[in-house]
Amino acid sequence: MYVISNIEEIQSYLNEQAHRGKTIGFTPTMGALHDGHMSLLITSKEQCDVSVVSIFVNPTQFNNPSDLENYPRRMEEDLALLEKNGCDVVFTPSEEAIYPENFKGVSMDLSIVNEEMEGTFRPGHFQGVVNVVFRFFEILRPSKAYFGLKDFQQVTIIKIMVDKLELPTEVVGCETLRAENGLAMSSRNYRLNDKQLAEASAIFKTLEYGKSLVKDNTPAEAQEKMKTYFDQFPLDLEYLQIVNTNTLEKLNSKWSESATCCIAAYFDDVRLIDNMEIA
């Protein structure tokens, strides 16, 4: 496994692979890796000849400085896990390499994600996400890129970006990997103790409960009942929103063909998100 932080070096390696007709699969991460990240890498390995994973804690997608400061960093463990799972190349660029002085950023309409859920509670987040993913795509020119559906709005906006800018990369959305109690795996879970890890299954339980409400309730009624249900647990709800899976529009009086419920909640200062297609 190669570990490369220099842009010219990784480009020269990947160009050589591309010239030999090899396809390149790319999984962007912010490190503190877990089996959820590994499931993206495994899918990349199934579908592509060369699999690249990046580790870069992107400062521009954090709206809260203390969240950025406390974000778990575990480079040694990350590299061991990647090696064990057969990663070909790990890309660990510096902030200066990703954001050179002349970097302009992506200019596109982000309202579909900015006006709902993560967008309203994390102002600037999606601009940071599209900028960094665009920059990685520009450097690595992957054939396919792998994103987790846990970050539901993120996958949507990256697909729209690729479409709008006609980028030659296929975006693949991958299912959320969960712990046995249903808790979605997340780097932020490294900040929870065992008791909190057990209690954080509240999010999954609430999403599952939502499924049982679809038949006899409107989305607005289901939302209220889910919020009341969630209140029994020791987490603080930030939002719970049922949206049309395809358009991200909020649902109130009528169910759409497919509906997804998204939740963000705090356990002390640790922010967790999850979602599930409930209808």
Among 139, 144, 151, 251, binds ligand AMP (CB under 6 A): 151
- Contact between 37 and ligand AMP (CB under 6 A)? yes
Residue 45 contacts residue 51 (beta carbons within 8 Å): yes
- Contact between 87 and ligand AMP (CB under 6 A)? no
For the bound state, the minimum distance from the C-beta of residue 62 to ligand AMP, rounded and expressed in Å, comes to 11
- Contact between 185 and ligand AMP (CB under 6 A)? yes
CB of 174 or CB of 222, closer to ligand AMP: 174
- Contact between 271 and ligand AMP (CB under 6 A)? no
Residues in CB range of 266: below 8 A, 6 or more apart:
235, 236, 238, 272
For the bound state, the minimum distance from the C-beta of residue 39 to ligand AMP, rounded and expressed in Å, comes to 5
Residue 150 contacts residue 34 (beta carbons within 8 Å): no
Phi, psi of 181 (to 5 degrees): -85, 5
Instruction: Please identify, among the stretches 36-44, 214-222, 234-242, 244-252, the one whose residues bind ligand AMP according to the rule CB under 6 A.
Output: 36-44
CB of 188 or CB of 240, closer to ligand AMP: 188
Instruction: Please identify, among the stretches 90-98, 109-117, 173-181, 240-248, the one whose residues bind ligand AMP according to the rule CB under 6 A.
Output: 173-181
For the bound state, the minimum distance from the C-beta of residue 88 to ligand AMP, rounded and expressed in Å, comes to 18
Residue 39 contacts residue 146 (beta carbons within 8 Å): no
Name the H helices within the chain: 7-19, 35-47, 65-70, 75-84, 95-98, 111-114, 118-121, 125-140, 152-164, 194-199, 202-213, 219-230
List the structure tokens of 143. 């054939």
List the structure tokens of 168. 């030659």
- Contact between 40 and ligand AMP (CB under 6 A)? yes
Residues labelled as active-site residues? 37
3-class DSSP assignment, residue 186:
coil
Residues 121-150 that bind ligand AMP (CB under 6 A): 147-148, 150
Among 51, 187, 206, 241, binds ligand AMP (CB under 6 A): 187
CB of 176 or CB of 244, closer to ligand AMP: 176
3-class DSSP assignment, residue 248:
coil
Residue 197 contacts residue 183 (beta carbons within 8 Å): yes
For the bound state, the minimum distance from the C-beta of residue 139 to ligand AMP, rounded and expressed in Å, comes to 17
Q: Using the 8-state DSSP alphabet, how is residue 22 labeled?
A: -
Q: Which residues bind ligand AMP (CB under 6 A)?
A: 29-30, 36-37, 39-40, 147-148, 150-151, 174, 176-177, 184-187
